Amino acid sequence: MTEELTTCDLTCPSSPEGPQEDLNAVTAGQMDGEQPIFSVLSGGMKRQQSAGDTAVATSPAATTGDTESGIFSGECELCVEHESELDLFCGTEQKLICSHCATVGPCRGHTVTPLATRVTAVRNQLVDVCEKIQLQALRIERFVNQTLTAKEQKLQTAASRAREQVLAQVSAAREALEEEEQRLLEEVQREEERVEQCLLTQRAHWRQALASLTQTRSGLVHTLTHTPDAQLVIGVQEIAERVEEAEGVGEPCDTDQLNLNPGCSDSKLLRGLWATAVLLGPNAHGSSCLKFDKRTVSPLLSLSEDLYTLTFLHKKGRQSPMPYDPARFDFWPNALGSQSLSSGTHSWVVDVGQSAAFKVGVCYSSLERKGSGNEARLGYNSQSWVLSHYDGDYSFCHAGKKVPLQVVRRPQRIGLLLDWPSQTLMFYELDSSAVLYSVTQRFSAPLLPACAVTDRSITILH
């Protein structure tokens, strides 16, 4: 009974033993010394009439006792038509009648019950209701005092634990970020010092070479202008040595050693956190206006009315030949986005969960649209960068070269992040917060989102 009272169910299921036993079970542990409600209402008597007591209950004495019990009050009324005592109850008409009404009157053949029996039944019903109300009140009281109190304590404990977990995780992330920040800044500083040292060395070397060349040239000019012809002919060997020495200085050339290595600031940890912040953070740089440009959609695909979903069409469902449009792909199942990206930070998410063959990425607007050659095939030319999934394999494709990707589980949503200032394109798996691939490329022209699908459909999410 104790376990039953701690549940959140406020209904009152009936017990096979009757409400009296349920009440006694509850009050035995909770309300010792308290008198149940029904004992007051019934005068300590419950269901005192049985089926064999019907004849006794019809007597005026029984009726008087019922009236005095408090359920009915006032003087016994008489039948207006027969001037007899109203000692019966007509269940059909739901009213009090006399015996003549039941035998020869309007209620003949109706369901008639002695008044005392009816009173007892009503009293018992009220007692049952009172018992159920009291039992429900006891359950509510126990639920409030025990269950809700325990829940409140558990809530406080759980909330405190959750706060500690948040603080611990943020502290660990902050500590890791601070350490990574310090490491990267030191790496950048070392790289800067290395390049500066190379620049100093190169500057000193070429200054010395320049001084040597200047001195040699001055000497040769002096020889040319002040040496007599005879001595000039005799001194050809000396002049040749000076010229050879000048030619030995060589030509200056720029090398990568004189540039800052961009990898010095690269960090897998920082890249992943940055992508998470951009794609999932409160200030996400989402491209809410990004849709597919219907002019570019291949005849092999259908575009939804909202311009967000591309669906691959099998041969039977393909559309009739479309009017010629220079922007439309006519062979490969490609489509481009409607928004040109050439500055700032942009991100968008593509739902690929239904497709087993797709490509998502970016390309130059100058990408070839016609023909079956690689010039119009995403990932097979120098103008497109895509993440490809086909036959269970994932890869990054650019200029016909594939980089296999290790994917722990099949992505349902792939986020793309294009940061123009750092010239970085990143493919991100939202559900696992994992960076699938990142590439830094010196983009020479504005980019367009690009997609291809040969199985089911993909959708740009907002």
Confidence class for position 291, pLDDT limits 50, 70, 90: very high
The pTM of the full predicted model, rounded to 2 decimals, is 0.58
**CA distance to 348, 359, 427, 429, 438, per residue, from 424 (Å):** 14, 18, 10, 16, 7
Nearest to 446 by CA among 374, 354, 309, 339: 339
Q: For residues 278-289, give the mean pLDDT.
A: 67
pLDDT, tens digit, for every residue of 219-243? 888 887 887 877 777 777 777 877 8
CB 12 within 8 A of CB 136: yes
More confident of the two residues 217 and 51:
217
Residue that is written with structure tokens 């570019």 in the block: 296
Q: Residue 54 pLDDT > 90, yes or no?
A: no
CB 388 within 8 A of CB 394: yes
Antiparallel, parallel or unpaired: β 345-351 and 457-461: antiparallel
And the tokens for 15?
Answer: 């017990």
pLDDT, tens digit, for every residue of 411-440? 999 999 999 988 999 999 888 888 899 998
More confident of the two residues 311 and 319:
311
Task: Report the C-alpha dihedral over residues 431, 434, 436, 438, rounded to 10 degrees.
Answer: 130
pLDDT, tens digit, for every residue of 292-313? 999 999 999 999 999 999 999 9
pLDDT, tens digit, for every residue of 141-174? 999 999 999 999 999 999 999 999 999 989 998 9
What pLDDT is stored for residue 316 in this prediction? 63
Q: Which residues lie across from 357 on neighbouring strands?
A: 390
Which backbone phi and psi does 56 adopt, to 5 degrees? -70, -40
Confidence class for position 277, pLDDT limits 50, 70, 90: confident
**CA distance to 239, 403, 430, per residue, from 408 (Å):** 72, 16, 13
CA atoms 59, 64, 65, 71: torsion sign: positive
- Amino acid identity at 22: D
Domains in the chain and their CATH numbers? Answer: 2-154 (3.30.160.60), 172-263 (no CATH), 283-461 (2.60.120.920)
More confident of the two residues 282 and 67:
282
Contacts of 26 (CB under 8 A, 6+ apart): 1, 5, 135, 138, 139
On the 0-12 / 13-18 / 19+ scale of CB atoms within 10 A, 420 is middle
Q: Residue 318 pLDDT > 70, yes or no?
A: no
What pLDDT is stored for residue 288 in this prediction? 63
